[in-house]
Amino acid sequence: MKVWLLHADRDSEQEPAQPCDADTLAEDLELGTLVDAMADGDPFLAATGRRILLSSRTDPDELRYRQAAVQDAIAQPTTVERLYRLASQTLEQRRRIWRSLLHKPETILPWALDTLEVYLDTFEELAPVLDQADRFRSPAFTQLFDRLTGELEQGYLSRVGTISHMLRMRSGVLFSATLGRGHTGSDYLLHQPRDWPARARTAASPRRKTYSFSIPDRDEAGERALSAMRDRALSTVAAVVSQVDEHLCLFFTTLRRELAFYLGTVRLHRRLTALGQPTCFPVVHTVNDRSWSARQLYDPCLALHQDKAVAGNDLHADHRALVLVTGANRGGKSTFLRGLGVAQLMTQCGMFAPAEELEISICPGIATHYRLGENRSRTRGKLDEELHRLSRIVEHAEPGALLLCNESLAATNEREAALIGSELIAALVERGIRIVFVTHFFELANKLTHQHGSGVLCLRAERRADGERTFRMTEGEPSPTSFGQDLYARFFGGESADPAWSETGRPGSAVVWNGSGRS
Amino acid sequence: MCSAPGDTFAFAGLLFDRVDVRDQALRSAPPDCLTDLCLDQVIETIMPGEQEPAKAFFYCPQPTIEAITARQQLLRDIEQPFLFDAFQTFCTAIGRVRNLVAQAGRTYYRRAREARLLDAAQTYFATVRELHRRLCAAQLHATRLRTLRQCLTGYVESAWFRRAEQAEAQTRAQLREIRYCVRIKGQRVHVFGYEGEADFSATVADLFTRLHPVRPTEFPESPDETSAMDHVQAAILDRVARLYPRAFSALDMFCSAYPDLLGPGVERLDADLRFCLACLRFVQDFRAAGFAWCYPEVVQRPETVYASGSFDPALAHRLRATGNPIVRNDFHLSPAERLIVLTGPNQGGKTTFATLFGQLHYLAGLGLPVPATAARLARFDRIHTHFGRREHLADLRGGLESELRHLHRIAETATPDSIVILNEAFSSTSTADAVSLGTRFIRLLLARRVLGVYVTFLDELAAEDTGIVSMIAEFDTGTPPEPSYRIRRGPPCGRLHASMLAARHRLSYRDVIERIAR
């Protein structure tokens, strides 16, 4: 039995492959907020949602397969939820059946038969759910319903019931054997149990010559010997029935996991829609299309966190290898960066995207490189640590991968950062890595702008003439200052908050670029 | 197989000409030199865990060149892949037969015991036939293998052998046909004949294949389930015997007619073969790793003797395990040269060389290949070894005394056919004493005309004399100089040793200045 809700040709893995620094990625992109919204209090939904979100898929057809199923799930939330509950409840009931620690056929068989009863009950409950099948359109859901209807027809289920009743062996275990090594029994064959004397008395077959004996009470060695013989006789059927359990357990586990993703997506969609945020199903392109444009792309984590609608940004970065983001401190650069990362992850797990429109090339890997906060524990020098992480990223990078850098190389001074950074980025771009680089280093930004010409898209966090931030990114070459002084002025009041002063980029403003007012 | 006429496999064995010589040889104790030559380690590697009777083959080097040549011829034949495989198969199968007979002896239930004896018989007959078939197909050069083939032919063609073989096959066929039913309900067990009942496991598996493909995995059977019999199974077996009386009475008759199959001839053949195969496996193992072994030419002294590209198999076996390189050495003694006096710094490979000299001769004396690319070695009557034992140094006078007693005994018993290997004799006395004692003892050895190696730290003993060959352990140039473990002819090289040792311990002038300054 196959689930195949996430992939068109197979069941999903229990532990889908995660990127090498999954925790860093999740933390940098603040996926926790997103995952909490998907879970809505269900820890299994949270864990599953996180894993699937982080295990990006790269086949556009597969993503379209999931997008169709997500559309179905959003349209039929109650059916999806009911199926999910049924799967969870089945697994829970199975877990509660007591299982002997002795792993031998004689003890496994009754246990496996008990689990079989649980599954048979579930199949009965499943019937009314399957009647809803015609409301689904996506290949993922319709094919699952078709398969279930076909495989679990009533005649078959009742035959299973009969045989599993026989397997309880209430009239004793009947088997035959040949003389094996040392004349111990060999080549055991189990026979259908029946009430032997009753059959023996029929006229058609005269009674066979039978020799009988009994094991005396308290003959423990004798009991063990009988038990060993029963084990050998039952070993095949016990293996078969426990394999059936294994298989059905796997089926329900997979079903529950795959439904958890769709249910989580439904819940996330419900939250964002309630906040008035737009969503869309992204148009997915291959890596080589180098497509990357959006209308009103926003960071869903910020919206969920603030519990209100947030502003979005438009993006026109088709065929750009490098997106360079400079501009005002606290002007929304990090939010913008995060929005790009989250949108990419959501797209590549088959979800809707946080935008009004999104056309995007899939990438074979996403990595983030954020300046370390002071709270993270460190065992090396700051720059050493940064370069170590960069080198790890480079080690795992593939052409077409997406690298999100937030104030990378901030641990060193501007000149060195320009030197190291420009060479590193030139090499990465050369190797086809797509980079979004947020920096307040003018020298580095300036160098990159000229180095990459039309391959670079320069964005600036907008700041109006009155010093007010709009959290919008506008296209613009890097300017030789950051706006930290504004912040400084807000807290300390005063003289340096003259916009004209900072716009002119007088020599000496480097003191300010180095970000004493950065959060 | 002793009572009825025609049932004996009269074979004296492969390694010796006569049964009484063989029996006597196998009672011999390990010679004293074995441990000094590290051959006990080699033997343990070749036959790990074997007990004395099997190892005794190693304890009796052959006294004549003819006996040695006969063994070399035998081993060359056995080494052929076709025969090697045939003999290996034979020994494994005979081991299985012996095992089954032993199991039968330990089995309490009669019918189970008889089952094992029947199995043993089946394996035995098939094994003997197979060996005979293969020997007939092979081209044999060794006289003793031809004799073996002749004996085997007579054996398998005897009326006794054919009758026994046939009886076994018929009994087995009757037993194989039996299939019986058992029904267990609670503590009650019913046994009755099988009448074509269907396989219920298959029905169950068929039912569920629709849900998923059933894997043919069964629960692992514990080994005792497959062979050991308990009282319940024995009780069932008794009922089965009552249901099928003909087959079981045939079994009874077979077992009383052929109670004991493995006779002394087969045992001798098996033991001799196991010795040969174990030795050849050891050699092949080295050859596969690129180390040449050869059959030496064995001569009667005075004649030139030599070995090229030779190595100590005990040391090489250890070094191969750790992946260290193995150094090979040569020697060459003209008819007039009798005693190698070996000098040089410690840790230079002197002891290894002395050991090697003895090992090569000992292995050659057994008729075995030796670890060398080419070799011509002397026949000997006995190898005398004297290796200075460190534990004796504690009591200086006592140590010297027991040492002298030992050396005296060697001098008394050594003949011109003996080989003497002495390592660091007189190390427990003063240097002046040691020089004088050593010089005198060497003269004595030369007078006895023995062949040998004398390892010493005293350069004076290597003074030129007829019959003496001075050899030294060579060191690579460098700081600190490393031993190359190569031994070559040459005069002793005096004080150089001391400075080399100092450098190796970082005690040179420069080293010491540096170390103290810090």
pLDDT, tens digit, 9 for 90 and up, residues B286-312: 999 889 999 999 999 889 999 999 999
Cα Rg of chain B (Å, integer)? 32
Stated pTM of the model: 0.65
Q: Do residue A212 and residue B203 have CB atoms under 8 angstroms apart?
A: no
Chain A residues whose beta carbon lies within 8 Å of the beta carbon of residue B225: 184, 228, 232
- What average pLDDT score do residues A389-418 get? 80
Which pLDDT value is given to residue B504?
52
Report the residue from B183, B205, B210 with minimal CB separation from A240: B205
List Cα–Cα distances, A289 to A262, A319, A360, A362, B361, in angstroms: 28, 8, 9, 9, 80
Using pLDDT thresholds of 50, 70 and 90, give the confidence band for residue A351. Answer: very high
Q: Does the pLDDT of residue B505 top 90, yes or no?
A: no
How far is A236 from A112, CA to CA, in rounded Å?
A: 13
Q: Are A445 and A407 in contact (CB under 8 A)?
A: no
Interchain contact B102–A (C-beta under 8 A): no
Report the residue from A180, A222, A247 with minimal CB separation from B232: A222
Question: At A93, which amino acid appears?
Answer: Q
Using pLDDT thresholds of 50, 70 and 90, give the confidence band for residue A383. Answer: low
Portion 113-142 of B in contact with A at CB < 8 A: 114-116, 119
Q: Does the pLDDT of residue A435 top 70, yes or no?
A: yes
Question: At A115, which amino acid appears?
Answer: T
User: What percentage of chain A reaches a pLDDT higher than 90?
Assistant: 59
Interchain contact B287–A (C-beta under 8 A): no
Interchain contact A175–B (C-beta under 8 A): yes
Cα Rg of chain A (Å, integer)? 32
Query: pLDDT, tens digit, for every residue of A162-215?
Result: 999 999 998 899 999 999 888 988 899 999 877 555 455 445 556 788 999 999
List Cα–Cα distances, A43 to A48, A93, A233, A264, A414, in angstroms: 9, 19, 44, 11, 45
- What average pLDDT score do residues B161-180 get? 95
Q: Which CATH class for the B289-517 domain? A: alpha beta
Q: Per the structure block, which two tokens stand in for B296?
A: 């030496």
Q: Are B412 and B437 in contact (CB under 8 A)?
A: no
Q: Is the dihedral of CA B78, B79, B80, B85 positive or negative?
A: positive
Q: Does the pLDDT of residue A510 top 70, yes or no?
A: no
Interchain contact A165–B (C-beta under 8 A): no
Provide the mean pLDDT of chain B: 85
Chain B residues whose beta carbon lies within 8 Å of the beta carbon of residue A192: 197-198, 200, 203
Interchain contact A32–B (C-beta under 8 A): no
- What average pLDDT score do residues B63-70 get? 94
Higher pLDDT, A40 or B514: A40
Q: Is the dihedral of CA B457, B463, B466, B472 positive or negative?
A: positive
Which pLDDT value is given to residue A514?
33
Q: By CA distance, what is B205's nearest residue in A?
A: A240
Query: pLDDT, tens digit, for every residue of B12-27?
Result: 889 998 899 999 998 8
How far is B8 from B160, CA to CA, in rounded Å?
A: 9
| Apex B213 CA angle, B209 and B214, nearest 5 | 85
Which ipTM was obtained for this model?
A: 0.75
Which pLDDT value is given to residue B465?
79
Calculate how close chain A gets to B173, using CA atoms only, in Å: 11
Task: Return the minimum-mean-pLDDT range out of A135-139, B79-83, B404-408, B460-464.
Answer: B460-464
Number of H helices, E strands in chain A: 18, 13
Q: Do residue A241 and residue B204 have CB atoms under 8 angstroms apart?
A: yes
Interchain contact A218–B (C-beta under 8 A): no
- What average pLDDT score do residues A355-367 get? 94
Task: Return the minimum-mean-pLDDT range out of A19-33, A208-222, B69-83, B465-479.
Answer: B465-479
Interchain contact B246–A (C-beta under 8 A): no
Q: Per the structure block, which two tokens stand in for A337?
A: 């960066």
Which pLDDT value is given to residue B218?
61
- What average pLDDT score do residues A38-51 get? 95
Q: Are A258 and A6 in contact (CB under 8 A)?
A: yes
Residue ranges per structural domain of chain B? 19-176+259-272, 179-217+230-243, 289-517
Q: Does the pLDDT of residue B395 top 50, yes or no?
A: no
State how far Cα B503 lies from the chain centre. 43
Which pLDDT value is given to residue A518?
36
Question: At B197, which amino acid appears?
Answer: E
Which pLDDT value is given to residue A493?
54
Report the residue from A176, A211, A216 with minimal CB separation from B194: A176
CA dihedral B152, B158, B162, B163 (to 10 degrees): -140
Chain B residues whose beta carbon lies within 8 Å of the beta carbon of residue A189: 197, 199-201
Nearest Cα neighbor of A104 from A222, A238, A241 is A238
- What average pLDDT score do residues B115-131 get? 95
Using pLDDT thresholds of 50, 70 and 90, give the confidence band for residue A293. Answer: very high
Using pLDDT thresholds of 50, 70 and 90, give the confidence band for residue B399. Answer: low
Chain B residues whose beta carbon lies within 8 Å of the beta carbon of residue A187: 179
Q: Are A114 and A238 in contact (CB under 8 A)?
A: no
| Apex A156 CA angle, A155 and A161, nearest 5 | 100
Q: Do residue A216 and residue B183 have CB atoms under 8 angstroms apart?
A: no
Task: Return the minimum-mean-pLDDT range out of A333-342, A427-436, A476-485, B88-97.
Answer: A476-485
Q: Does the pLDDT of residue B389 top 90, yes or no?
A: no
Q: Is the dihedral of CA B299, B301, B303, B305 positive or negative?
A: positive
How far is A198 from A203, CA to CA, in rounded Å?
A: 11
Interchain contact B103–A (C-beta under 8 A): yes
Reduced to 3 states (helix: H, G, I; strand: E, B; else coil), residue B62 is coil
Calculate how close chain A gets to B310, using CA atoms only, in Å: 51
Q: Do residue B203 and residue A213 have CB atoms under 8 angstroms apart?
A: no
Query: pLDDT, tens digit, for every residue of B335-347?
Result: 999 999 998 776 6
Which pLDDT value is given to residue B475?
73
What is the interface size between A and B, counted as CB pairs within 8 Å? Answer: 188
Report the residue from B180, B192, B198 with minimal CB separation from A177: B180
List Cα–Cα distances, A256 to A48, A52, A63, in angstroms: 10, 13, 20
Q: Does the pLDDT of residue A376 top 60, yes or no?
A: no
Provide the mean pLDDT of chain A: 85
Calculate how close chain B gets to A214, using CA atoms only, in Å: 4
Q: Is the dihedral of CA B207, B208, B212, B214 positive or negative?
A: negative
Report the residue from B111, B175, B192 with minimal CB separation from A208: B192
Interchain contact B343–A (C-beta under 8 A): no
- What average pLDDT score do residues A388-398 get? 79
Q: Do residue A176 and residue B197 have CB atoms under 8 angstroms apart?
A: yes
- What average pLDDT score do residues B378-400 get? 69
Which pLDDT value is given to residue B216?
67
B237's enclosing H/E stretch is: helix B231-243
Query: pLDDT, tens digit, for every residue of A244-267?
Result: 999 999 999 999 999 999 999 999
Which pLDDT value is given to residue A7?
95
Q: Are A367 and A25 in contact (CB under 8 A)?
A: yes
